[in-house]
Chains A and B, each alone.
Chain A
Amino acid sequence: MKVTVTHTAQIARETWRLTFTGSFPYDSVKPGQFVMIRIGSGMEHVLRRPISIAAVSKDCLTIVFRVVGTGTKWLSERNPGDGLDVLGPLGKGFPLPHARVRTLIVGGGIGAPPLYLLAERVRHSVERLDIVLGFRTAADCFWAEGFAGLGNLALATDDGSLGTQGTVIDAIKALPAEGPEPSPNLKQWDYVYACGPLPMLRAVKRHFAGRSVRGYVSLEQRMACGVGACYGCVCQSSDKSAAKRICADGPVFDWNEVAL
């Protein structure tokens, strides 16, 4: 689909926000889904870049991404009025809670953006919403105010420049509801959603081991087709019996369903 950039801005260290408008099925977007964006107009870049959807309205969509290579660099250089070729929305999003449940959202670094859309969608239907975001340092932190407007926000930074010093696990333990030595019988939350680096996802799952929570993680992997045809982006099912395509079977998975 051909869309048009309306806004771009740098919002943290190496981190950019971009909004587009134009012909796109905005109202079909589910939190956790992503778009595949074409880079340039020639054939220098043959692979689209997969970027999670951070926010969407009836006529525009916002992505937040880190500049890590030539494609994201090109994206960060777009200006209002520039055209973009996007595919999407793609992938299976976060299963939303049905009843009035207690929800914890955990984000690490550039894993946070899709959790913003998730938080927006669940904040009115859940009994309570706790949001924990971890960044390396204050300069990497973005959208804290926005997240704080959606739920109870706690931050963690590796160097302590913002929020708790340490990891998101330290910040979770520092939450009044949780406490530093949570017992396996403790059930503070019914649903836990996590998106961020793989070590963080493993740590979050481990923290809740033995507790009856429903846990969902969003994974990423280098992609080629983005639609499930090429099997480039797989992870293993937890019983090692099947390949799961992160683009089409995910990116969101029940954390018991996949090998992290």
Chain B
Amino acid sequence: MNDIANAPDLSAEIAGLRLRNPVMPASGCFGFGREYAVYYPLNRLGAVVTKAVTLRPRFGNPTPRVTETGAGMLNAIGLANPGVEHVVAHELPWLAEQDVPVIVNVAGETKDEYVEVAGIISGSGLAAAVELNVSCPNVKAGGISFGTDPGILQDLVEAVRRVCTVPLFVKLSPNVTDIRRIALAAQAGGADGLTLINTLIGMQIDIHRRRPVLANTVGGLSGPAIKPVAVRMVYEVAKVVDIPVIGMGGICSGIDAIEFIMAGAGAVMVGTANFTNPMACPQTIAEIEQFMLEHGIKSLAEIRGCIT
């Protein structure tokens, strides 16, 4: 009986979403849940976050799309996805049966596309929240990423906010000079929460073939190598915004997750680690619980942002 009375409370509430624990997979690292559901029931997670969904189906970039780097990897998948119509008809209904909150990641090439997809997703009733992927090049602004200009970002978030009836998270790119300005712009645009960080832009050269390893030349760097950058950015952003922050970037264990929570995150996302270990998410949850037990921490609120 003592064990149950002393069991740490891992629950988290983020922008109205009630999560049984603070751990969810990062977008792009979990498909639409089916592949990893083979390894464990998805309702062990705090939430599921889908691959980015665009208006039209996208094949994505030429291969090679992935390569390992020191304690990390580069990816240039290119937002490959079957398009919003297919996702709403075939993926979200299955996810809705898995007894876990579903956060749908939305991407676009133009503001209109984002608005249309976000409207369809939130109107479907099958998403608990929308996560806006703003690391896409804005084709109307010459390809500059939506998430690197505060004015463009605030304008985009405002437009999506008008049609999105579920909690709206904005996923911040770290490839900026001052992420605090971007975070404040997203908040001003009406975001209910922020998720950060997305990948850092990187490159790897094959010195024998004398060309980039990735067909796309550059790709996004993820994995343990980026964790210190991610922790720093979560720390900086959590200090300046009032809305909740979900942290990610190289989390491979409960210990890593605790760093992000202490930096100010209300929840965390685990991405690349799923590739190393399909049980990465459930193991991270168990390790957070273990840490809390060992240190007499009864709820996440006791340590959230405790170093700021």
| Chain A contacts to B: CB under 8 angstroms | 38, 43-48, 71, 87, 221-236, 243, 248
Within 8 A of A (CB), among B239-283: 252, 272-278
Task: State which of B38, B274, B276 has its C-beta within 8 Å of the C-beta of A43.
Answer: B276
**List of A residues within 8 angstroms of B75 by Cβ:** 224, 230, 232
Closest Cβ neighbor of A85 among chain B residues: B277
Nearest-neighbour CB distance to chain A for B204, whole angstroms, equals: 11
Closest Cβ neighbor of B39 among chain A residues: A227
In the complex, the answer to whether A230 meets B31 with C-beta atoms within 8 Å is yes
Nearest-neighbour CB distance to chain B for A16, whole angstroms, equals: 20
**List of A residues within 8 angstroms of B273 by Cβ:** 46
Give the distance in Å from the alpha carbon of A18 to the alpha carbon of B227 in the complex. Answer: 35
**List of A residues within 8 angstroms of B35 by Cβ:** 225, 227-229, 248
In the complex, the answer to whether B224 meets A46 with C-beta atoms within 8 Å is yes
Known: A229-B30, A229-B36, A230-B66. A46 touches B80 (CB 8 A): no
Nearest-neighbour CB distance to chain A for B53, whole angstroms, equals: 13
Give the distance in Å from the alpha carbon of A224 to the alpha carbon of B72 in the complex. Answer: 11
Give the distance in Å from the alpha carbon of A43 to the alpha carbon of B251 in the complex. Answer: 11
**List of B residues within 8 angstroms of A224 by Cβ:** 66, 73, 75, 272, 275
What total of chain B residues lie within 8 Å of the partner, measured CB to CB?
33
Closest Cβ neighbor of A71 among chain B residues: B68
Q: Does B40 contact A (CB under 8 A)?
A: no
Nearest-neighbour CB distance to chain B for A228, whole angstroms, equals: 5
In the complex, the answer to whether A221 meets B63 with C-beta atoms within 8 Å is yes
**List of A residues within 8 angstroms of B29 by Cβ:** 225, 229-230
**List of A residues within 8 angstroms of B71 by Cβ:** 43-44, 46
In the complex, the answer to whether A222 meets B66 with C-beta atoms within 8 Å is yes
Give the distance in Å from the alpha carbon of A151 to the alpha carbon of B17 in the complex. Answer: 62
Give the distance in Å from the alpha carbon of A227 to the alpha carbon of B75 in the complex. Answer: 16
**List of A residues within 8 angstroms of B274 by Cβ:** 225, 229
Q: Does B65 contact A (CB under 8 A)?
A: yes
Can you name 28 A-B pairs with beta carbons within 8 Å? A38-B277, A43-B223, A44-B70, A44-B71, A45-B68, A46-B71, A46-B73, A46-B223, A46-B275, A46-B276, A47-B276, A48-B276, A222-B67, A224-B75, A225-B29, A225-B274, A225-B275, A227-B36, A228-B35, A229-B35, A229-B36, A230-B28, A231-B60, A232-B63, A232-B66, A243-B59, A243-B80, A248-B35
Closest Cβ neighbor of B69 among chain A residues: A46
Q: Does B64 contact A (CB under 8 A)?
A: yes
Nearest-neighbour CB distance to chain A for B1, whole angstroms, equals: 35
Q: Of residues B35, B68, B77, which shows the largest number of chain A Cβ atoms within 10 Å of its Cβ? A: B68
Within 8 A of A (CB), among B35-75: 35-36, 38, 51, 59-60, 63-68, 70-73, 75
Closest Cβ neighbor of B256 among chain A residues: A43
Give the distance in Å from the alpha carbon of A243 to the alpha carbon of B79 in the complex. Answer: 12
In the complex, the answer to whether A87 meets B80 with C-beta atoms within 8 Å is no
In the complex, the answer to whether A38 meets B276 with C-beta atoms within 8 Å is yes
Give the distance in Å from the alpha carbon of A155 to the alpha carbon of B68 in the complex. Answer: 35
Closest Cβ neighbor of A247 among chain B residues: B35
**List of A residues within 8 angstroms of B30 by Cβ:** 229
Within 8 A of A (CB), among B161-212: none
9 more contacts with CB within 8 A, not counting A224-B275, A228-B31, A234-B80, are: A38-B276, A43-B276, A46-B272, A224-B73, A225-B35, A229-B30, A230-B75, A232-B63, A234-B65
Nearest-neighbour CB distance to chain A for B189, whole angstroms, equals: 30
In the complex, the answer to whether A229 meets B31 with C-beta atoms within 8 Å is yes
Contact pattern, B 275-295, Cβ under 8 Å of A = 1, otherwise 0:
111100000000000000000
Give the distance in Å from the alpha carbon of A45 to the alpha carbon of B278 in the complex. Answer: 15
Nearest-neighbour CB distance to chain B for A237, whole angstroms, equals: 10
